[in-house]
Amino acid sequence: MDEQPRLMHSHGVGMAGHPGLAQHMQDGTAGTDGEGRKQDIGDILQQIMTITDQSLDEAQARKHALNCHRMKPALFNVLCEIKEKTVLSIRGAQEEEPPDPQLMRLDNMLLAEGVAGPEKGGGSAAAAAAAAATGGIGADNSVEHTDYRAKLSQIRQIYHTELEKYEQACNEFTTHVMNLLREQSRTRPISPKEIERMVSIIHRKFSSIQMQLKQSTCEAVMILRSRFLDARRKRRNFNKQATEILNEYFYSHLSNPYPSEEAKEELAKKCSITVSQVTTKEPSNLISKNVSNWFGNKRIRYKKNIGKFQEEANMYAARTAVSATSVSAHGSQANSPSTPNSAGSAGSFNMSNSGDLFMSVQSLNGDSYQGGQVGANIQSQVDTLRHVISQTGGYSDSLAASQMYSPQGINTNGGWQDAPTPSSVTSPTEGPGSVHSDTSN
DNA sequence: GAGTATGATTGCTA
DNA sequence: TAGCAATCATACTC
């Protein structure tokens, strides 16, 4: 039996937290004979093997007895030697891992959004950027800005609460495992490296949970951002007055409903179009863009379904006609909306009183109307009067029976005949007067 | 909740 | 680049 010298030799390995054990081991083997030791080791091993079958109290008592056993230090020493030999196998796992690039991306994003790191006003930078994208000013916007910040702040709060919980749980669990290992180190050799490794395993597990938290937080921020920035979600109908003004212009320029840039801006101002209704990416055209949209939609929808717009056209035509008559009768020189594209237009666009329209004066179709300074150029007055006349049967001879009203300016191809710019109006396959609907709706 | 109205966007053309 | 046509997405109405 060549074990004796090894049993006697202590390497002092695996005494973590228990420096006294090494000394105990060195002292514990003196004065024993070979046969007796064999018996003792057999007993100890037997007791260890059966300890799990016992009750907690019994096991504790047995453990205490084992710890006090005279052969325990020798056995412990053997275990230390074995441990020393096998420790090489776990060395590879000890190496530092490079930081996870995905985790870094998530961290960076959370920092940029103001969710992680120091409080930066609840993501005000991001909110400001988003606000800039939608125009940057206006009461609506500030409300949305506040809303965005509140929601971001909520996300931040949840994130930090959860993170704190995870960290606390991680610390508790680590402490628990370390205590367990220290306790176990009384009966089996456990190196500090082994404890470190165990701790790092625990940390890795918890950091993967944290990564999930970071990922879902990022997703929440992205959803919030996209909702805040998505202009389509923020569509607001123009108010009634704005629609009146735009319709007024449209029907009074039916022969050429293509307002110039200046006219668009003037209309936008008159309509008090809010920032939330301006969603172009190009700041230079912020205001007139939605007017362009409105006219674009109007032209197409009017052309597609003239029948549907008949009544509306009559109403506005009548209003404008009355206005023109009134203006003419009073000999006033009303400034009219400039329509550079339309022949005969003159003067600058001025709808200064259009906000007070439609009061007191009875129009041809019974609507009330204020004979104010409605901006209408000569061409548009002619258009309107023709329209009214056509409605009252004045042009009946020249109109096909199916065409209650031949819209001024729309040619047989569906385009506005005297409009120089919309040269691409070629697609309608049915003539004006046929009823379409906006197919998407 | 379904149907409709309407402002905005996208892709294309001239 | 403006405008058309189709489409989307939301608001509004019943």
Report which listed range, A122-136, A302-316, A349-363, is most confident: A302-316
One-letter identity of residue A116: A
Average pLDDT over residues A157-172: 89
pLDDT at A119: 64
Least-confidence region, from A31-35, A209-213, A237-241, A429-433: A429-433
pLDDT, greater one: A136 or A324: A324
pLDDT tens digits for range A48-72: 777 777 777 887 887 787 778 777 7
Q: Residue A227: pLDDT band by 50, 70, 90 thresholds? A: low
CB A307 within 8 A of CB A433: yes
Euclidean distance between CA atoms A251 and A313, whole angstroms: 6
pLDDT at A137: 38
CB A252 within 8 A of CB A316: yes
Euclidean distance between CA atoms A199 and A93, whole angstroms: 12
Euclidean distance between CA atoms A13 and A24, whole angstroms: 13
| Residue labelled with tokens 């096991």 | A59
CA closest to C8 C1', residue: A232
> What interhelical angle do A240-252 and A286-304 show, nearest 10?
60
Q: Residue A226: pLDDT band by 50, 70, 90 thresholds? A: low
| Residue labelled with tokens 């991001």 | A126
Q: Which two tokens stand for residue A417?
A: 């005949």
A264 touches strand B (CB under 7 A): no
pLDDT at A327: 60
pLDDT tens digits for range A409-438: 566 455 665 444 443 333 333 333 333 335
A238 touches strand B (CB under 7 A): yes
Q: Which of A140, A111, A95 is nearest to A214 (CA)?
A: A111
One-letter identity of residue A258: Y
Euclidean distance between CA atoms A12 and A21, whole angstroms: 9
A422 touches strand C (CB under 7 A): yes
Residue A282's contacts (CB-CB under 8 Å, 6 or more residues apart) are: A289
Euclidean distance between CA atoms A97 and A112, whole angstroms: 25
For A239, A288, A334, A383, A426, the CA distances from A376, given in Å and listed in that order, are 22, 20, 8, 10, 28
A402 touches strand B (CB under 7 A): no
pLDDT at A396 exceeding the cut of 60: no
Average pLDDT over residues A276-280: 40
Q: Coil, helix or strand for A213?
A: helix
Q: Which residues pair with A416 in a beta bridge?
A: A410
Q: Coil, helix or strand for A190?
A: strand
Q: Which two tokens stand for residue A201?
A: 């395993």
Q: Which two tokens stand for residue A343?
A: 């022949």
pLDDT at A13 exceeding the cut of 70: no
Q: Coil, helix or strand for A361?
A: strand
Q: Residue A299: pLDDT band by 50, 70, 90 thresholds? A: very high
Q: How many CB atoms lie within 10 A of CB A140?
A: 16
Euclidean distance between CA atoms A119 and A129, whole angstroms: 17
A407 touches strand C (CB under 7 A): no
A427 touches strand C (CB under 7 A): yes
Q: Residue A223: pLDDT band by 50, 70, 90 thresholds? A: low
Q: Which nucleotide is nearest to A234 (CA to C1')?
A: C10
Report the mean per-residue pLDDT for chain A: 63
| Residue labelled with tokens 């009559």 | A314
Euclidean distance between CA atoms A418 and A410, whole angstroms: 8
pLDDT at A296: 93
Q: CA A151 – C1' C3 distance (Å)? A: 40
CB A380 within 8 A of CB A320: yes
pLDDT, greater one: A128 or A35: A35
Euclidean distance between CA atoms A38 and A74, whole angstroms: 11
pLDDT at A47: 75
Report which listed range, A203-207, A400-404, A433-437, is most confident: A203-207
